Chains A and B, each alone.
Chain A
Amino acid sequence: MSEEQDDIILSELSDDELVLQMYDDLYDGMREEIEESVHILLNRGWVPYDVLTKALVEGMRIVGIDFRDGILFVPEVLLAANSMKGGMAILKPLLAETGAPRLGNMVIGTVKGDIHDIGKNLVTMMMEGAGFEVKDLGINNPVENYLDELEAGEYDILGMSALLTTTMPYMKVVIDTMVEKGMRDDYVVLVGGAPLNEEFGKAIGADAYCRDAAVAVETAKEYMAKKHNQMSA
Chain B
Amino acid sequence: MSKKIQNIIDKQGFVLADGATGTNLFNMGLMAGDAPEMWNVEHPDRIIKLYQGAVDAGSDLFLTNSFGGNASRLKLHNAQNRARELSRISAEIGREVADKCNRDVVVAGSIGPTGEIMGEVGTLTHEIAVEMFEEQAQGLLEGGADVLWIETFSAPEEYAAAAEAMNNVGADWCGTMSFDTAGRTMMGMTSADMTKMVAGMDFSPFAFGANCGVGASDLLRTVLGLSEAGADRPIIAKGNAGIPKYVDGHIHYDGTPDVMAKYALLARNAGATIIGGCCGTMPEHLAAMREALDNTPKGEKPSLDMIAATMGAFSSDNDGTGDAPMKQPRRNRRRAIRSQH
Residues of chain A at the chain B interface (Cβ within 8 Å): 1-2, 4, 6-8, 10, 20-21, 24-25, 27, 30, 33, 62, 66, 69-76, 78-79, 82, 111-116, 118, 139-140, 142, 164-170, 172-173, 194-197, 199-200, 203-204
Q: Establish whether residues B33 and A111, one from each chain, have CB atoms under 8 Å apart when the complex forms.
A: yes
Q: Establish whether residues A169 and B32, one from each chain, have CB atoms under 8 Å apart when the complex forms.
A: yes
Q: Establish whether residues B251 and A27, one from each chain, have CB atoms under 8 Å apart when the complex forms.
A: no
Residues of chain B at the chain A interface (Cβ within 8 Å): 20, 22-23, 25-26, 30, 32-36, 72-73, 75-77, 114-117, 119-121, 154, 180-184, 186-188, 243-247, 249-251, 279-280, 316, 320, 325-328, 330-331, 334-339
Residues of B within 8 A of A30 (CB): 338
- The distance in angstroms between the C-alpha atoms of A228 and B220, with both chains bound, is 46
Residues of A within 8 A of B328 (CB): 27, 62, 66, 71
Residues of A within 8 A of B246 (CB): 169, 172, 199-200, 203-204
- The distance in angstroms between the C-alpha atoms of A7 and B320, with both chains bound, is 32
Given contacts A7-B336, A197-B244, contact A73 B325 (CB under 8 A): no
Given contacts A8-B334, A115-B72, contact A167 B32 (CB under 8 A): yes
Q: Establish whether residues B339 and A82, one from each chain, have CB atoms under 8 Å apart when the complex forms.
A: no
Q: Establish whether residues A168 and B121, one from each chain, have CB atoms under 8 Å apart when the complex forms.
A: no
Residues of B within 8 A of A169 (CB): 26, 32, 246, 250-251
Report the nearest A residue to B330, measured CB to CB. Answer: A24
The interface centre, meaning the residue of B20, B326, B338 with most chain A CB atoms within 10 A of its CB, is B338
- The distance in angstroms between the C-alpha atoms of A132 and B114, with both chains bound, is 30
Given contacts A73-B188, A75-B187, contact A199 B32 (CB under 8 A): no
Which 6 interchain pairs have the tightest Cβ spacing? A70-B182, A73-B188, A112-B33, A113-B33, A203-B246, A115-B115
Q: Establish whether residues B30 and A166, one from each chain, have CB atoms under 8 Å apart when the complex forms.
A: yes
Cβ-defined partner of B76 (8 Å) among A1, A75, A140, A194: A140
Residues of A within 8 A of B77 (CB): 113
Given contacts A70-B181, A72-B327, A139-B76, 16 further A-B contacts (CB under 8 A): A1-B337, A7-B336, A10-B336, A24-B331, A27-B328, A33-B338, A72-B188, A74-B154, A74-B186, A113-B32, A140-B76, A165-B22, A166-B26, A169-B251, A199-B246, A200-B244
- The distance in angstroms between the C-alpha atoms of A167 and B112, with both chains bound, is 15
Residues of B within 8 A of A27 (CB): 327-328
Q: Establish whether residues B188 and A75, one from each chain, have CB atoms under 8 Å apart when the complex forms.
A: yes
A-B contacts, 30 listed (Cβ < 8 Å): A6-B337, A8-B335, A8-B337, A20-B331, A21-B336, A24-B336, A30-B338, A70-B181, A71-B326, A71-B327, A73-B188, A74-B181, A74-B187, A76-B188, A82-B121, A113-B32, A113-B34, A115-B72, A115-B75, A139-B76, A165-B279, A166-B34, A170-B33, A173-B32, A194-B186, A195-B244, A196-B244, A197-B243, A199-B245, A204-B246
